Structure 1
Amino acid sequence: MAAVDPDFKTSFCLDSYYVSDELGFILPEPLKELPPYYQPWMDVAVRVPDLVQSHELRSHIYKMPLLSSEFLQKHRELRLAHLALSVMTMGYVWQEGEKGTVEILPRNLAVPYWEVSQRLGFPPIFTHADGVLANWKKKDPQGCWSASQEETVCEVSSWSLCWWSWQQFLH
């Protein structure tokens, strides 16, 4: 087996994969807001648990305009858009529990979700990359990163969302 030259340096750069020495795969400095054009997405996404609990999420999604993803230019914008669209999709599908799921998403949710997913190379489904790695913000924007000093951008847990999934594991 050939010996590795200690002076050999590769051009491999973690930055191009959005990986950092400090945070690993956690997205460094994720956005909390999208450009104003996408405010209808964020207005609904940050309220998903409450809208699911009140059985109003689907009606709010129906009222959203069909927005193009073309104005999302930066990786962090795409990641936040994917998070918002993922949270809305998960809530939309499961709003009524296991027996009330839907198989077809409305166009104003499905089309941009597909576009953003394709641009990121992500599947159009709520992923660990969405819910954990990009769904955080510092409680104190000037403070150092610490798991105890972070909070979520989009809340995805509530008893109404979690109850049905835990029932599957209990039986």
Structure 2
Amino acid sequence: MQSLLEAAENAGAGLPPVEKWNPEHCGVMDLVIRRDGSWWHEGKRITRDRLVKLFARILRKDDDGIHYLVTPVEKQAVTVESAPFVAVRVDATERDGVPVVIFTTNLGDVTEAGPDRPIRVEIDPETGEPEPYVLVRGKLEALIARPVFYELANMTEERDGQLGVASNGEFFALGPSA
């Protein structure tokens, strides 16, 4: 069985090169990826995991901030309420004595936080609640589920008045210390 570190190192292997495809925009698809990670087409939940995973393989977010399903010949905009993935697991390990934080998404993607895959936290202006995200691939992020964020909070250390976690030589602030 593949270790989490190996899975994170091989993340993206076998995925189509959607970042290199530049078809013309063909319209908007009635597809919504909800905040809870569920995928809905024409108002009905897609319950076949294999179909969701297939769509996720050809999903990308462009510089315009819009998410698209992309093939070599088509590009359809889709609606994403928060992030297309949800981080449902976090693990802390080390590589050569350096801390590594690894996330697993609801669709089985594995990503390790670091310089190329940052953790960021937005604060909801209405509720004041943190909305933490981690970059998974390309410009696609995962919303870090609340229980996972609590686990991450248990891994924090304080630096310069900020609580955060270190991973792959980077420090990611999660919020101010008291």
Pair in the same fold by TM > 0.5: no
- Structure ranking higher in helix proportion: 1
Higher strand share: 2
Bigger relative CO (Cα 8 Å, ≥ 6 apart): 1
TM-score (normalised: structure 1):
0.29
**Greater Rg, structure 1 or structure 2?**
1
